C-alpha cells in the first residue's frame, strides 16, 4: 500500500495509463472525447476516460482547470491523476467540478520511488485518504 | 510550519458567507497548502482569465457564484473574451451557435458579478490599475510578467477559478512572487554590446524577449544594457515574449524596471549570457515559419495595441491604403479604441483598409474568417502560437515591415534593419 498526498480527494479505481511526457490538459487534450490530441505527445490518440493517469508532472496552462472541470462534467476525465510534482491547476479544476457536479477526479502526488512502483501495476484502487493499492495482471 | 488562517477565513471555509465564498476560500486554501504558504495575504486587484470561454464548466462556475450571492472583494478587471460583446457581428453565431451563445453568457455573468468589463489582455494600458508593491491576482501570462516586472506589483500566475477565488476573498497565498526572496534573478543577459540601432527598432524587444524566454524557461532573467528610455510598448513586447517562449512570470531590466536600479539589486553571481546579433537573427528565424512571399493577412495587437502603437501605425501608413482585399487586423481594448477614435485615428485607419476589433484576442478574428496561408505579424507571442493554433504560416517582422508588406501585398524586408551587425 502506498500513501499519497491528497490534492483533491476521491475514492475511485481504474486501469493504469502511464504518460512518459507531461500532458497539457488545455490544447493537447479534448474534453469532449477524453482523447490526447497533441501530435508531439507519445500517447497521442490514447483515451484517458476512467483511467488512473500516472504522469510525473503536468504541462502548466492557466486554462487547464477549465479543461479538467469540463472533462469531469462530460464524464471523459481520468478517475484519478497521480503526479510527482504537485499541480495547482488540476487540483483546483477537480475541486470546482466536485462542487458543481458532485463528482471529482482524485489528484494525488507521490514520491518518485512510489511512482516507479505504481507504474508497474495494471489497476489501482484509491481511497479518499489517498491510500493506493494495486494489482498486476 | 503549516498554514495559519484567521477567523474570517476559518468561518468562510465553513460556509459562514454562503456557498460561493465557501468554495472560493476552499480554492485559495488548497492553493496555499500546495504552495507551502504559511498564511494568506490581502490582494488589492484582480484580472480574470476565467471569463475566457473554454467550455460549459466555466459558465456553470460563474452561474454558481452569482446564484449563491458572491460579491467581489477587490476591483476586478476582465481578460479578453472569445466573442466581442461590443461588436457581435465580428462572429456570426452560425459559426458555432452553442459556443457563441455560451461565451457571451459567460462574459455577461462576470460583468453582472461586478467586474469592470475591460475585456483586454493588456489591462496595464488602462489607467486606475495596480501600482508598485501592490499584491494582486492575475491570470493572463503577459499581464503577469508586465505587472511583476514593469509595474512592480506582485502576483503569481493564477489559473482559471483560482483567479476568481482570490478576487472574491481578497486573499492570495503568501508564496512565490508575492515574497521578496523569490523575486531575485537567476540568470543575466547582457545587451549593451548591440548597436543602438537594434535597441531603437521595435522588433528588438520581441526578438530579445523570445530569446530570453526560451533560454530562461521558468527562471527569472535580468537584462542589462537596455536603453533607459525603452518605451512601454517595448516592455510589453518583452513581457509577452518571455512568457510565451518560456514560462517567465517576472523579469528585470536594469535601469528600466523598478526593482532593478542596478544589477546588484536583483542578481549576485550566476549564469550569464551575452546577447549577439546572431541570436537575434536566430529568434527571427524561429518566429518566421514560412518563406517570404505574398501576404494573405496581417495580424497586430498581441497583446492588445496601445494608443502609442496606433500613433506609430498611422505615421508608417502615411496616408496610403492597404492592398485591396488584404485583411489587416489590429486587436485592442474598447478603452484604447475609444481614445484612438477621439483622435480620429480609427476612422483614418478604417479608410486605409484596417480593421480594429475589440474585446477579443488576436487569434480570434483570423480563426473566424478562416484565414489561411501566410500571415504577417510584429508580435512574438502571436508568431509563437499561431502556427499551432491557426495552422497558418507566419512571416515575422517589424511594424514598419508589416505596414510596407500590407501596402505591397508581399513580404517586404527592411534592408537597413537586416544589414545591421
Closest-CA distance of chain A to residue B275, Å: 28
ipTM given for this complex: 0.93
Q: Which residue of B has its CA nearest to A27?
A: B389
Which of B140, B167, B135, B173 is CA-nearest to residue B151? B135
Cis amide bond preceding B303, omega within 30: yes
SS3 B400: helix
- Buried-state track B314-336, b at ≥16 Cβ within 10 A, e below 16: bebbeeeebbeebbbbbbbbbbb
Distance in angstroms (rounded) separating the CA atoms of residues A105 and A127 = 12
Span B62-72, average pLDDT: 97
Any B CB within 8 A of A100 CB: yes
Closest-CA distance of chain A to residue B407, Å: 35
Q: Do B23 and A99 touch (CB under 8 A)?
A: yes
Distance in angstroms (rounded) separating the CA atoms of residues A75 and B246 = 33
Residue B331 pLDDT greater than 90, yes or no: yes
Beta bridge partners of B271: B187
pLDDT of residue A60: 66
Q: Do B140 and A93 touch (CB under 8 A)?
A: no
A25, A41, A59, A65: best to mutate for the B interface, most B CBs within 10 A: A65
Q: Residue B1 — pLDDT band, cuts 50, 70, 90?
A: low
Q: Do B162 and A92 touch (CB under 8 A)?
A: yes
Q: Residue B389 — pLDDT band, cuts 50, 70, 90?
A: confident
Distance in angstroms (rounded) separating the CA atoms of residues B264 and B325 = 53
Span B224-232, average pLDDT: 96
Q: Within chain B, which residue ranges are assigned CATH 3.30.499.10?
A: 288-418
Nearest to B61 among A7, A89, A100 (CB): A100
pLDDT of residue A135: 86
Residue A117 pLDDT greater than 90, yes or no: yes
Q: Do B60 and A95 touch (CB under 8 A)?
A: no
pLDDT of residue B317: 98
Nearest-10 Cα torsion for B87, B90, B92, B93 = -60
Q: Which helix (H) or strand (E) covers residue B65, if one does?
A: helix B56-67
Which of B150, B316, B298, B157 is CA-nearest to residue B233? B150
pLDDT digits over B137-157, tens only?
Answer: 999 999 999 999 999 999 999
Q: Do A73 and B159 touch (CB under 8 A)?
A: no
Query: Residue A122 maps to which CATH number?
Result: 3.50.30.10
| Residue B358 DSSP label | B
Nearest-10 Cα torsion for B158, B332, B257, B213 = 60
B65, B160, B246: best to mutate for the A interface, most A CBs within 10 A: B160
Any A CB within 8 A of B247 CB: yes
Distance in angstroms (rounded) separating the CA atoms of residues A40 and A18 = 16
Q: Residue B395 — pLDDT band, cuts 50, 70, 90?
A: very high
| Residue B419 DSSP label | T
Residue A27 pLDDT greater than 80, yes or no: no
Is the C-alpha dihedral spanning B37, B79, B77, B250 positive or negative?
positive
Structural class in CATH, domain B7-177: alpha beta
- Catalytic residue status for A122: no
Distance in angstroms (rounded) separating the CA atoms of residues B36 and B42 = 17
Residue B290 pLDDT greater than 90, yes or no: no
pLDDT of residue B92: 65
Distance of CA A43 to the CA centre of its chain: 14
pLDDT of residue B91: 72
Span B278-292, average pLDDT: 94
pLDDT of residue B93: 67
CATH of the domain spanning B288-418, picked from 3.20.140.10, 3.30.499.10, 3.40.605.10, 3.20.20.140: 3.30.499.10
Q: Residue A137 — pLDDT band, cuts 50, 70, 90?
A: low
B338 grid coordinates = 475609444
Span B84-96, average pLDDT: 76
Q: Do B26 and A95 touch (CB under 8 A)?
A: yes
- Buried-state track B130-167, b at ≥16 Cβ within 10 A, e below 16: beeebbbbbbbbbbbbbbbbbbbbbbbbbbbbbbbbbb
Q: If you count residue pairs, one on A and one on B, with CB atoms under 8 Å apart, how many are there? A: 93
Span A106-119, average pLDDT: 96
% pLDDT > 90, chain A = 71
Q: Which residue of B has its CA nearest to A9?
A: B30
| Residue A47 DSSP label | B
pLDDT digits over A32-68, tens only?
Answer: 888 888 777 788 888 999 999 999 988 767 788 999 9
pLDDT of residue B386: 87
Span B270-294, average pLDDT: 95
Distance in angstroms (rounded) separating the CA atoms of residues B157 and B139 = 5
Q: Residue B96 — pLDDT band, cuts 50, 70, 90?
A: confident
Contacts of A61 in chain B (CB under 8 A): 159
Span B165-191, average pLDDT: 98
% pLDDT > 70, chain B = 99
Q: Residue B277 — pLDDT band, cuts 50, 70, 90?
A: very high
Instruction: Tell me the average pLDDT of chain B.
Output: 95
A67, A88, A94, A97: best to mutate for the B interface, most B CBs within 10 A: A88
Q: Residue B403 — pLDDT band, cuts 50, 70, 90?
A: very high
Low-confidence winner among A26-40, B60-74, B75-89, B246-260 (lowest mean pLDDT): A26-40
pLDDT of residue B274: 98
The number of domains in chain A is 1
Identified catalytic residue from A24, A58, A61, A127: A61
- Prediction pTM value: 0.95
Higher-confidence residue of A44 and A120: namely: A120
In terms of residue numbers, what domain contains A64?
2-135
Amino acid at each position: 500500500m502506498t500513501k499519497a498526498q491528497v490534492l483533491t480527494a476521491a475514492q475511485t479505481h481504474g486501469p493504469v495509463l502511464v504518460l512518459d511526457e507531461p500532458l497539457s490538459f488545455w490544447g493537447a487534450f479534448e474534453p469532449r472525447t477524453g482523447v490526447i490530441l497533441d501530435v508531439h505527445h507519445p500517447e497521442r490518440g490514447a483515451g484517458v476516460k476512467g483511467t488512473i493517469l500516472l504522469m510525473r508532472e503536468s504541462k502548466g496552462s492557466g486554462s487547464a482547470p477549465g479543461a479538467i472541470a469540463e472533462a469531469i462534467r462530460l464524464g471523459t476525465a481520468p478517475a484519478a491523476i497521480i503526479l510527482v510534482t504537485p499541480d495547482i491547476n488540476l487540483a483546483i479544476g477537480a475541486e470546482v467540478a466536485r462542487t458543481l457536479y458532485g463528482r471529482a477526479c482524485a489528484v494525488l502526488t507521490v514520491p518518485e520511488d512510489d511512482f516507479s512502483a505504481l507504474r508497474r501495476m495494471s489497476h489501482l484502487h484509491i481511497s479518499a485518504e489517498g491510500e493506493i493499492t494495486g494489482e498486476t495482471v | 510550519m503549516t498554514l495559519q488562517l484567521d477567523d474570517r477565513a476559518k468561518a468562510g471555509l465553513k460556509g459562514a458567507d454562503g456557498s460561493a465564498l465557501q468554495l472560493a476560500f476552499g480554492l485559495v486554501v488548497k492553493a496555499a497548502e500546495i504552495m507551502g504558504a504559511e498564511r494568506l495575504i490581502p490582494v488589492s486587484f484582480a484580472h480574470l482569465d476565467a471569463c475566457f470561454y473554454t467550455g460549459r464548466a466555466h459558465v456553470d462556475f460563474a452561474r454558481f457564484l452569482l446564484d449563491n450571492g458572491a460579491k467581489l472583494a477587490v476591483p476586478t478587471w476582465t481578460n479578453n473574451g472569445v466573442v466581442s460583446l461590443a461588436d457581435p457581428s465580428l462572429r456570426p453565431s452560425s459559426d458555432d451557435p452553442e459556443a457563441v451563445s455560451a461565451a457571451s453568457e459567460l462574459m455577461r455573468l462576470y460583468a453582472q458579478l461586478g467586474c469592470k468589463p475591460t475585456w483586454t489582455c493588456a489591462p496595464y494600458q488602462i489607467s486606475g490599475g495596480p501600482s508598485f508593491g501592490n499584491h494582486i491576482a492575475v491570470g493572463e501570462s503577459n499581464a503577469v510578467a508586465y505587472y511583476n516586472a514593469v509595474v512592480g506589483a506582485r502576483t503569481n500566475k493564477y489559473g482559471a477559478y483560482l483567479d476568481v477565488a482570490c478576487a472574491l476573498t481578497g486573499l492570495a497565498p503568501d508564496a512565490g512572487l508575492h515574497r521578496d526572496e523569490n523575486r531575485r534573478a537567476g540568470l543575466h543577459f547582457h545587451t549593451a554590446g548591440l548597436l543602438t540601432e537594434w535597441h531603437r527598432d521595435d522588433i528588438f524587444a520581441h526578438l530579445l524577449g523570445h530569446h530570453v524566454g526560451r533560454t530562461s524557461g521558468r527562471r527569472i532573467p535580468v537584462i542589462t544594457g537596455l536603453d533607459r528610455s525603452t518605451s512601454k510598448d517595448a516592455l510589453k513586447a518583452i513581457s509577452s515574449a518571455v512568457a510565451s517562449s518560456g514560462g517567465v512570470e517576472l523579469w528585470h531590466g536594469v535601469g528600466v524596471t523598478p526593482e532593478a536600479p542596478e544589477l546588484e539589486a536583483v542578481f549576485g553571481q550566476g549564469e550569464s549570457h551575452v546577447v549577439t546579433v546572431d541570436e537575434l537573427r536566430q529568434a527571427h528565424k524561429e518566429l518566421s515559419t514560412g518563406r517570404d512571399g505574398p501576404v494573405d493577412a496581417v495580424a497586430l495587437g498581441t497583446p492588445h495595441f496601445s494608443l502609442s502603437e496606433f500613433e506609430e501605425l498611422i505615421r508608417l501608413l502615411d496616408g496610403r491604403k492597404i492592398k485591396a482585399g488584404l485583411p489587416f487586423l489590429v486587436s485592442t481594448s474598447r478603452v484604447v479604441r475609444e481614445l484612438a477614435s477621439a483622435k480620429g485615428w480609427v476612422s483614418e485607419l478604417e479608410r486605409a483598409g484596417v480593421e480594429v476589433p475589440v474585446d477579443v484576442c488576436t487569434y480570434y478574428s483570423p480563426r473566424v474568417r478562416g484565414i489561411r496561408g501566410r500571415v504577417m505579424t510584429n508580435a512574438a507571442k502571436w508568431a509563437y502560437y499561431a502556427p499551432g493554433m491557426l495552422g497558418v504560416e507566419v512571416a515575422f517582422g517589424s511594424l514598419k515591415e508589416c505596414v510596407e508588406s500590407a501596402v505591397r501585398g508581399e513580404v517586404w524586408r527592411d534592408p537597413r534593419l537586416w544589414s545591421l551587425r
